[in-house]
């Protein structure tokens, strides 16, 4: 009957074949958690609704060349121009066009029909 010291010495001289035998013997202990993790992640991805958020930074600068050299082609104030751009970008028609173009909210299926709240715009 071998003692613990002999087993410890044998472990130091293990080869690749020994490790492969361990993997084959313990395959269900390895594959079961991997498969269950995959099923859980896939289920959550299918059940949870998709939410998207986007940020953008637009830099708008005042005219740097003096007006007596170059006449400005825009007569609106800078804050009015930024507000106008914001209204155009965030308009319902433009947002809906982007949602449709990139298929951001595909038709609901499964439990997402129950979880989906309101209009994506």
Q: What is the pLDDT of residues 4-60, one digit of tens each?
A: 555 555 556 778 888 889 889 999 998 999 999 999 999 988 888 777 777 888 787
Asked whether the beta carbons of 120 and 100 are under 8 A apart, the reply is no
- Would you give the end-to-end CA distance of the chain in angstroms? 75
Closest by CA to 58, choosing from 23, 25, 85, is 85
């Amino acid at each position: 009957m071998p003692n613990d010291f002999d087993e410890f010495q044998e472990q130091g001289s293990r080869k690749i074949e020994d490790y492969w035998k361990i993997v084959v013997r313990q395959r269900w202990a390895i594959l079961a958690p991997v498969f269950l993790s995959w099923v859980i992640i896939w289920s959550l991805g299918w059940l949870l609704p998709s939410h998207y958020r986007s940020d953008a930074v637009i830099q708008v600068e005042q005219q740097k060349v003096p007006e007596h050299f170059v006449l400005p082609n825009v007569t609106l104030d800078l804050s009015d121009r930024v507000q106008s751009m914001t209204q155009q970008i965030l308009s319902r028609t433009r947002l809906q066009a982007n949602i449709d173009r990139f298929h951001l909210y595909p038709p609901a299926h499964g439990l997402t029909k129950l979880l989906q709240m309101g209009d994506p715009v």
